[in-house]
Amino acid sequence: MLGNIIVGLVFAGIVIFALTRVISDAKNKKCSCGSSCCGKTKCNKGV
Amino acid sequence: MKIALAGNPNCGKTTLYNAITGKTESVGNWSGVTVAKKEAHLRKKYNSKGLDDIKVVDLPGAYSISPFTSEEAVTRSFILDENPDVIINIVDGANISRSLFFTTQLLELGIPVIIALNKADVISRRGDKVDINLLSKELNCKIVPTNAITGEGLIELLDDAIQLGIEKKAPVKPKFQGCDSEDSDIARQRYIDEIIEKCQVKTRDASQVTLSDKIDRIVAHKWLGLPIFFLIMWAVYSISIEGIGGYLSEYFNETLFGEIVPNAVNAFLEGLGVSPFLQALIVDGAIAGVGAVVGFLPLIAVLFFCLALLEDCGYMARVAVLMDRFFKKIGLSGKSIIPMIVGSGCGVPGVMATRTIEDINEKRMTTILTPFVPCGAKLPIIALFTAVFFPDNAWIAPTIYIVAIGVIVVGGLLLKKIFVWENTSQFIMEIPEYKLPSLKYAFAQVIDKSKGFIRKATTIILVCNTLVWFTQAYGWNLQPVEDQSLSILASIGKVIAPILIPLGFVGWQMAAASVTGFLAKENVVATFAVLLAAGSEEALYIPGGELTQFFTPVTGLAFLMFNLFTPPCFAAIGAMSSELGSKKWLFRALAFQFSVGYTLAMLVSQIGSLIVYGKPTTGFIPAIIVSIVVVLYLVLTIKKRGSQPSELGVEV
């Protein structure tokens, strides 16, 4: 039971962390494909 | 303090930026690699005065302060609106005369300027001499010779730049005859030419045929050039998919993520007494999905290594010139090839690179066609389907890239006919000299792309496939299901599946994989890995493996085409939306891409089955109906557009 709780919490933490990164990337229009993909909000002002 | 790096395209701004900030932004041996400004803090090593918060801004290349393309507009608006404390003007040692046009304009703005005479090695290699002291005196501006690749002169450059930023001393404006006249640009160039005549001694005979010229006579030859390009690209993809990349991927997929990792995690979780549900969610969901994608990392690494070498030696710039002649016929120009080559890494920077194109029609057309180039994310799909269905035909995977070029050409012709576009732009490109490619640069590219690939696998792929596992194991009543076809995922897939019937794809699994593929293309592979992991212990990519229960080799090839040529992932669609500038054009672009991918997959599936198996595959009648609709639409639209070209001219 304790094993389930610990493993479940760790896995849920990893998935939630990954989800926040996905949402953050989506908001910043990043594709996570390396440095060539930069955040539009940062670099496209005035275009 | 804010230090701006400004200069002509391909003068080495981003290389210098990476050196002084420690970043690894994309650089390339051609113009137009940087299309947006980038900011980072100066490395301590170069901050001799120990000032806090020194930011360095890398700006897109510009030939003049008057913008011609949208990325030049970024440079202009930054310099004029954001008032940097000092500008480091990078002057290309290989083209001093042309670079100084922009320099003299910068000196008129009242912002402190220091000149970095970059590529000093090129000047000495050519045997040319530049009197830096005299040039500095003529321009009333400090000049530091630098080599951004080796780091030579950078400490001195930054010392002087920071000092100038502290003093905020405005430069002396250059004075030349005719500076206020209407022909001020001509007068300015004349002034620069006079300075160059005094300060530069050229020993090279321009009429002499160099080794670079001799190589160009072959690789950029109007008839030989194209077959050579195809051969080189075919070799690159062969090495990546079938060679060392494929060999390492086989180990990653079969042994590392097929046995070692799942067995170790299973043993660990069993030891902790974790429930079978949680164990399956982690091993069959998260690890199977992420592992199926990460397993293809060696392939991606080898591909980008080879492409980086080709680009760094100067060959890719020749390809742009070579393709110009052919692209002109479909309303594009050589400029369009740059976004497409960048797009072979990732569609997002590829689409963003269309900013270097000033003609609005050509830019839109390139934005629509660039996602047809198979990006790194599509590589795992190509590798998986060719390994399962064509294990003995090593030529199929690299040929897919040649097919992509064919799709771009046909797609371009169709776009031109449908929207009656005329290309008015002229293509002028500066060809860099050939050089030995840098292994350091190639490895840096590989590390950068690999980091991005792993990041994607551990974020969006992990989240998606955890969700995919849950939805394929549970029903709407949130109870586990014995039969996958009763699951949540199956019920969603069944709604979309009928659309795929004319393509010969029968089954909700294909629909589910295609839908997750729109979130990230790697998800196609990962979704199959999760769906099939539940029913089989066999590695996904084994030749003649589990995937054959869904596809014949021909329909497998058609499914590959469908996923390669239908609209790209959401991130790339977002970039398309920005570059196309309107929802109307985005909708048109997506409709066009979907129609191309759908029609191509349908033709491959039905005609291919007819030829190979002697009978069409499932959905032949719906396929005929769809074909008639497509042909009628094309004929009527082209006829209508042809009769009213003036009314349909695109808005600028």
Listed residue (B14, B19, B17) closest to B45, CA to CA: B19
Does A47 contact chain B (CB < 8 Å)?
A: yes
Averaged pLDDT for residues B131-147: 89
Q: How far apart are CA B336 and CA B368, in angstroms?
A: 11
Q: State how far Cα B400 lies from the chain centre.
A: 18
pLDDT of amino acid B128: 79
Task: Please give the Cα distance from B353 to B529 (Å, whole number).
Answer: 34
Please report, as a single letter, which amino acid is at residue B356.
T
CA distance B649 to B589: 17
State the angle between helix axes of B13-21 and B154-167 in degrees (0 to 180), rounded to the nearest 10: 90
Distance from CA of A24 to the nearest CA of B (A): 11
Least confident of B203-217, B282-296, B306-320: B203-217
Which amino acid type is present at position B287? Answer: I
Chain A positions in Cβ-Cβ contact with residue B349 (cut-off 8 Å): 33, 36-37
> Can you read off the two tokens belonging to residue B640?
């209508």
Residue type (1 letter), B240 = S
Whole-prediction pTM: 0.79
- Three-state SS letters, B172-211: CCCCCCCCCCCCHHHHHHHHHHHHHHHHEECCCCCCCCCH
What local confidence, expressed as pLDDT, does residue B354 receive? 85
Q: Which residue has the higher pLDDT, B30 or B362?
A: B362
pLDDT value for A12 = 93
Q: Which two tokens stand for residue B378?
A: 């599509």
Residue B282's pLDDT is 92
pLDDT confidence bin for A47, thresholds 50/70/90:
very low
Tell me which of B56-65, B286-295, B510-519, B638-647 is least confident.
Answer: B638-647
Residue B71, pLDDT > 70, answer no
A27 shares contact with chain B (CB less than 8 Å): no
Inter-chain residue contact A33 with B81, CB threshold 8 Å:
no
Between B559 and B24, name the one with better pLDDT.
B559
| B620-644 pLDDT, tens digit each | 999 999 999 999 998 888 888 766 5
The token duo for B575 is: 């970039």
Interchain contact, B462 vs A15, CB within 8 Å:
yes
Q: Which two tokens stand for residue B563?
A: 């996923």
Check residue B536 and give its pLDDT.
58
Distance set, CA B152 to CA B10, B119, B146, B233, B329 (Å): 18, 10, 5, 35, 45
Calculate mean pLDDT across residues B69-98.
Answer: 83
Percent of chain B with pLDDT over 70: 93
For position B648, what pLDDT does the model report? 39
Residue-level pLDDT at B581? 82
Cβ–Cβ gap A7/B81 under 8 Å: no
Burial class (CB in 10 A: 0-12, 13-18, 19+), B155: middle
Q: B213-259: per-residue pLDDT in tens? A: 889 899 888 889 889 988 998 888 888 887 888 888 888 888 888 88
Which of B187, B377, B360, B218 is closest to B297 using CA atoms?
B377
Can you tell me whether residue B534 is helix, strand or coil?
coil
* Contact yes or no for B349 and A14 at CB 8 A: no
> For B223, phi and psi rounded to 5 degrees?
-105, -40
Does residue B36 carry a pLDDT above 80? no
Compute the distance between CA of residue B96 and CA of residue B571 in angstroms, rounded to an integer: 39
Q: What is the pLDDT of residue A41?
A: 38
Please report, for residues B293, B338, B531, the alpha-carbon distance to residue B547 in angstroms, rounded to integers and kept in the order given. Answer: 16, 36, 10
Smallest Cα distance from A28 to chain B, Å: 10
Kindly indicate the confidence band of residue B652, based on its pLDDT and cuts at 50, 70 and 90: very low
Are the CB atoms for B63 and B101 separated by under 8 Å? yes
How far is C-alpha B440 from the chain's CA centre?
Answer: 20
Closest among B402, B370, B400 to B387, alpha carbons compared:
B400
CB atoms closer than 10 angstroms to residue B636: 10
Q: If pLDDT is split at 50, 70 and 90, which confidence band does B647 have? A: very low
Query: With contact defined as beta carbons under 8 Å apart, do B107 and B173 qualify?
Result: yes
Residue A7 makes CB contacts below 8 A (sequence gap 6+) with: B269, B272, B274, B278, B282
Q: Answer yes or no: is pLDDT of B136 > 70.
A: yes
Mean pLDDT of B68-94: 82
The ipTM is 0.77
B595-628, pLDDT tens digit by residue?
999 999 999 999 999 999 999 888 899 999 999 9
Average pLDDT over residues B110-135: 84
Determine, for residues B272 and A3 on separate chains, whether the beta-carbon distance falls below 8 Å. yes
Using an 8 Å Cβ cutoff, are B158 and B42 in contact?
yes
Which one-letter DSSP state was computed for residue B152?
A: B
CB interface of B with A, residues 571-590, below 8 Å: 571-572, 574-575, 578
A13-42 per-position pLDDT tens digit? 999 999 998 888 777 666 555 444 444 433
For residue B25, which residues of chain A lie inside 8 Å, CB to CB? 35-36
Q: Are strands B113-118 and B86-92 parallel, antiparallel or unpaired?
A: parallel
pLDDT at B35: 62
How far apart are the C-alpha atoms of B422 and B362, rounded to whole Å? 8
Q: How far apart are CA B341 and CA B233, in angstroms?
A: 11
DSSP state of B93: G
Q: Can you tell me the distance from the alpha carbon of B250 to that of B28, in angstroms, rounded to the nearest whole number?
A: 31
Question: Rounded to the nearest 5°, which phi and psi values hold at B145?
Answer: -70, 135
Residue B620: CB atoms within 10 A of its CB come to 16
Q: Give DSSP secondary structure letters for A7-29.
A: HHHHHHHHHHHHHHHHHHHHHTT
Strands B55-58 and B113-118: unpaired
**Higher pLDDT, residue B205 or B165:** B165
B474 φ/ψ sector (left φ>0, alpha ψ -120 to 50, else beta): beta
Whether the predicted pLDDT of B50 surpasses 50: yes
The CA distance from B452 to the nearest CA of chain A, in Å, is: 4
